[in-house]
Chains A and B, each alone.
Chain A
Amino acid sequence: MAHKWGMAVDLDLCTGCGACVTACHAENNIPTVGPEQAARGRAMHWLRVERYWEGDFPDVRLKFRPVMCQQCDAAPCEPVCPTYASHHTAEGLNAQVYNRCIGTRYCANACPYNVRFFDFFNPQWPKPLHLQLNPDVSVREVGVMEKCTFCVQRINAASIDAKAEKRELKDGDIKPACVQSCSARAMAFGDLNDPESEVSRLSRSPRGGTLLEDLGTLPKVTYLERQTQV
C-alpha cells in the first residue's frame, strides 16, 4: 500500500525551545533575510513555534504550538495554483515544484495556516556561509513560493536506502530535521497507512486533534493537547 506521511506533535512535551526552527533552516537552505527585511515581514520560517499568552499575571500561562505545513489531504493551496506548481503527490505530500511556480502567491493566500513563504529577493549567503548549503535541497530563486516539504529529500533518501537493502521502510527510518532535533521528542513522523507506526498510534490519542479542523482541509499533522495536572 502507498505510504501516507504524517506527523504528530505532542504539545505536552513541546517546550518551545525552537531547536526545530533552526534545524529546519540548516536542513532546507532557508535564507536568512536580515533585520531590514525581517522588519518588513519577510522572515522565512517554514516551521514556526506559535506562542499564545493566556490569562494575566499572576495566573498567566503560555502555550506553544509548532506550526509547519500541515500537508492537508484537501489542501486549499493546491487547486488555486494555475500551473500545478502546488499539487498532491502519491504519498500525500503537498509538493511545491519551484521551477513551475510563477509566483501568483495565490496558494499562500489560500493556505489557512500561513505556512507558505515567498522569495522576495534572490537569497544571499555571504561566503563562505554557502558551504553549509544542503545539496539535496534546491535553493529557491526570487519570485517563487516555498514551504515545508516534510524533508522530502530525507524521505526519498531513506526509501532509496531501503530499496538498495531490498527491504521495506521501517517506522522511524525517516526523521525530518525538526523531528530529529527535538530533545523532548515532542514530534513523531511516519506512515499513517501503517496502523502500528508511532505517528498512527499518537494520532489516535484521545488528546489528538488537527489544526483548524472545521475548515475541512484534512491536515496530516495531529496535535496532542497539553495536559494539566489534576
Chain B
Amino acid sequence: MSAASSNKLTADLLRPLLETSWRFYALVVFLAGIVLMGLGTWAYQMFNGFGVTGINNPIFWAFYITNFVFWIGISHAGTLISAILRLVNAGWRRPVTRCAEVITAFALMIGALFPIIHLGRPWLFFWLMPYPSSRLIWPNFRSPLVWDFFAITTYLTGSVLFLVLPMIPDFALVRDHTTGLRGRIYGALALGWQGTPKQWHRLESAMSIMAIAIIPVAVSVHTIVSFDFSMAPVPMWHSTMFGPYFVAGAIFSGIAGLIIAMAALRKFLHIEAYLHPVHFQNLGKLLLMMSLLWGYFVFAERLTIWYGNGSAEIAVLRVTQKGSFAPLYWTMVVVNFVIPVSILSIRKLRTITGCVIASCGVLVGMWLERFLIVVPSLGHKYLPYSWGVYRPRPVEIMITISTFAAMALLYVLFSKFVPIISIWEMKVGEQETHETALQRTSRVLGELHP
C-alpha cells in the first residue's frame, strides 16, 4: 500500500491518543464520580451488614448475581466473536476485533467482582482460592462457585493476553510517533518490538493458537455460570439445557454490547472511515440469529415446564408469566425477541441506528432474563409456606448503576491510551487482495487440522 494512505490511517487512528478535548475530561470525571459512589455504597454495605440490601429469606440471591451473570455474558462479546472471526479470517473483522476484546476484558473484571460484592463476609473471599493455608482449609472442588473461580481466572488470563499481544506492534508504532515521557512509556509497552519477519510469524501463530484455545474456554465459562443454578434442586433452575441456553444468551448480549460500543466509538472518535455500515450490517445479522436462537431456547424451556406440569415448576412459571413478575417477563420477550427480529430481519432497517436500537433493547432484556431466572425461582420453592417476595433497595441499585459507569469509564480510558482499532491489522487488510484472503483462509484452516 502507499505510504500516503498508510500515514493517513496512522494519523486518523492515533488522533484520539494525541488530541484531547475538554469533553473527555468532563466524561471521565462524571463516570468516575458514579464509580466512586458505587464503591462508597459497597463500603456502607460491608460496614452495616448485608441487611441494607433487599435480599431476604428465601430470596438470598438477586441483583448482584443477576449482574454477575449479565456482565459475564457481555464478556462473550469480544474474545469469542473475534476469535471466531479470526479463525474464519473474515476480512471485515479487522476494525472490530480490538473493540470487542476490550469489552471482554473489562466486562469480565466487573463481572468477577460481583461474587465478591455479594458475599456475606467479602473480606474472606480468598478462601475460594486453593492455596496451602495454616487453617489447612482447601476449597471444595464440588462447589460450582469454585468452578467459577477457575473458569473466570482462565478466561480472564486468556482474554487479556489475546487482547494485549496484537497491541504490541501498535505500541511500537505509537512509540515511533511520540516523544518524551509518552514516547518512553509506549516504548516500554512495545517491549522492543522491531517487526522482523520472525516476530510477525510468532505473533500470528500465537494468535491462531489462542483463538482456538479461547473458544472452548469461553463456552465453558458461561456453561459453568449456568451450573451455579442448574446444580441446585430449585424449580426451573435444575435444567439440563441451562448450559447452551446461557452460552447463547451470553453471545446474544455480547454482540449487542459490541454494537453499542462500536457505534459510540464511531461517533466520538470520528473513525467513520474505518467502522463502515457493513460492519453493523454483519453484526446485525449475527444479532438476529442469536435473537432467534434465544427465542428458541426460551420456548423449549417454557414448553417443557408447562407440559410437564411439575407443581413446583408450574408455580414459578405461573408467577413469571401471569403473576407479579409478568410485566418484567413480557417486557423481556418484546425487547429480546419481537423488536430485534422485526428490526433486523428487514434489510432497510438494519442500519447503524436500527442495530443500536435493537441492541439497547437486548441489553435490557438480557438483564431482565437473568433477574427472572434468579428471583422468581428462589421466591417459589417447594414449600409454599416459605415463599417470599423481593424488593430491591437503593444499595444494590446504586452498585448496579455504578458498574455500568465503571464499564464506560474503563472503555473511555482505554480508547484514549490505545489505538482502539488495530492499525497494523488494518494495513494488512488494505494490502490484502481478495485472492490472498482466500489462500490465507485455507491456510489457517489447514493449520486447524494439521
Scan residues 380-394 of chain B and give those whose CB is less than 8 A from a CB of chain A: 381-386, 388-389
> Which of these, B56, B139, B144, B233, contacts A83 with CB under 8 Å?
B139
Q: Which residues of A contact B54 (CB under 8 A)?
A: 40
CB contact list, B352-388 vs A, under 8 A: 378, 381-386, 388
Instruction: Say yes or no: B57 contacts A81, CB within 8 Å.
Output: no
B122-147 CB contact bits vs A (8 Å, 1 = yes)? 10110110000000010110111110
In the bound complex, CA of A50 to CA of B50 (Å): 27
0/1 interface trace, chain A 93-135, chain B, CB 8 Å (1 if under): 0000000111111101110111001111110000000000000
B232 within 8 A of A: yes
Contacts of B143 in A (CB 8 A): 79-82, 106
Nearest residue, chain B, Cβ from A141: B121
Cβ of B48 within 8 Å of any chain A Cβ, yes or no, is: yes
Query: Is the pair A105, B383 in contact by a Cβ cutoff of 8 Å?
Result: no
Give bound CA distance, A83 to B138, whole Å.
Answer: 7
In whole angstroms, what is the CA distance A100 to B135 when docked? 10
Contacts of A102 in B (CB 8 A): 119-122, 124-125, 127-128
User: Does B386 lie within 8 Å of A79, measured CB to CB?
Assistant: no
Question: Taking the complex as formed, is A142 at the interface, i.e. its CB lies under 8 A from any CB of chain B?
Answer: yes
Q: Smallest Cβ distance from A38 to chain B, in angstroms?
A: 10
Residues of chain A contacted by B149 (CB below 8 angstroms): 82
Contact with B along A138-168 (1 / 0, CB 8 A): 0000111100000000000000000000000
Q: Are B121's CB and A101's CB within 8 A?
A: yes
Interface centre among A109, A113, A122 (most CB of B within 10 A): A109
Closest to A117 in B: B57
0 or 1 for each of A41-85: is its CB under 8 Å from B? (1 = yes) = 111100010111000000000000001000000001001111110
Q: Which residues of B contact A50 (CB under 8 A)?
A: 383, 385-386
Bound-state CA distance A100–B133 (Å) is 13
- Does B58 belong to the interface (CB within 8 Å)? yes
Asked whether, in the complex, the Cβ of A114 is within 8 Å of the Cβ of B58, the reply is: yes
Check if B192 is an interface residue, CB within 8 A of chain A.
no
Least CB distance from B203 to A in Å reads: 38
Which one of B56, B122, B124, B389 lies within 8 Å of A42 (CB-CB)?
A: B56
Q: Choose from A41, A82, A144 the contact partner of B121 (Cβ within 8 Å).
A: A144
Q: Which of B49, B61, B127, B381 meets A82, CB within 8 Å?
A: B127
Question: Cβ of A193: which chain B residues have Cβ within 8 Å of it?
Answer: none
- A211–B383 Cα gap in the complex (Å)? 10
Given known contacts A41-B56, A79-B140, is B50 in contact with A120 (CB within 8 Å)? Answer: yes
Chain B residues with Cβ under 8 A from A121's Cβ? 48-51
Closest to A84 in B: B140
Residues of chain B within 8 A (CB-CB) of A80 are 142-145, 231-232
Interface contact B139-A114, CB-CB below 8 Å: no
Residue of B nearest to A215 (CB): B233
Expressed in whole angstroms, the minimum distance between the Cβ of B112 and any Cβ of chain A is 14
**Which residue of chain A is the closest to B60 with respect to CB atoms?**
A105
In this assembly, does B234 line the interface, its C-beta being within 8 Å of a C-beta of chain A? yes
Q: Are A48 and B232 in contact (CB under 8 A)?
A: no
Residues of A within 8 A of B382 (CB): 112-113, 212, 215
**B residues within 8 A CB of A83?**
127-128, 137, 139-140
A203 vs B127: C-alpha distance in the bound complex, in angstroms? 40
CB–CB B385/A48 < 8 A: yes
A183 sits at the interface (CB 8 A): no
**Least distance between B57 CB and chain A CB atoms (Å):** 5
Q: Which chain B residues lie closer than 8 Å to A76 at the CB level?
A: 232-233
- Closest chain A residue to B232 by CB distance? A110
- Contact string, B158-178, partner A, CB cutoff 8 A, digits 1/0? 000000000000000000000
**Quick one: given A104-B145, A109-B60, A121-B51, are A143 and B119 in contact (CB under 8 Å)?**
yes
- Interface contact A103-B56, CB-CB below 8 Å: no
- Residues B232 and A106 in contact, CB atoms below 8 Å apart: yes
B48 lies within 8 A of A103 (CB): no
> Are the C-beta atoms of B127 and A103 separated by less than 8 Å?
no
A37 on the B face (CB < 8 A)? yes
Given A80-B143, A100-B137, does the pair A114, B383 have CB atoms closer than 8 Å?
Answer: yes
Asked whether A143 lies within 8 Å of B383 as measured between CB atoms, the reply is: no
CB contact list, A172-230 vs B, under 8 A:
211-212, 215, 217
Q: What is the bound-complex CA distance between A110 and B139, given in angstroms?
A: 18
- Shortest beta-carbon distance, B51 to chain A, in Å? 3
Q: Report how far A217 CA is from B238 CA in the complex, Å.
A: 14
Contacts of A109 in B (CB 8 A): 60-61, 232, 234, 378
B120 touches A106 (CB 8 A): no
Q: Which of B49, B58, B59, B378 contacts A122 (CB 8 A)?
A: B49
23 contacts between A and B (CB under 8 A): A40-B56, A41-B58, A42-B56, A48-B385, A67-B385, A67-B386, A80-B145, A80-B231, A82-B140, A82-B143, A82-B145, A83-B128, A84-B140, A105-B118, A106-B144, A112-B234, A113-B382, A113-B386, A118-B57, A121-B49, A142-B50, A145-B120, A211-B383
5 more CB-based (< 8 A) A-B contacts, given A41-B59, A109-B378, A142-B121: A76-B232, A120-B50, A121-B49, A142-B50, A215-B382
Please report B residues at the A interface, Cβ cutoff 8 Å.
Answer: 48-51, 54-61, 115, 118-122, 124-125, 127-128, 137, 139-140, 142-146, 149, 228, 231-234, 378, 381-386, 388-389
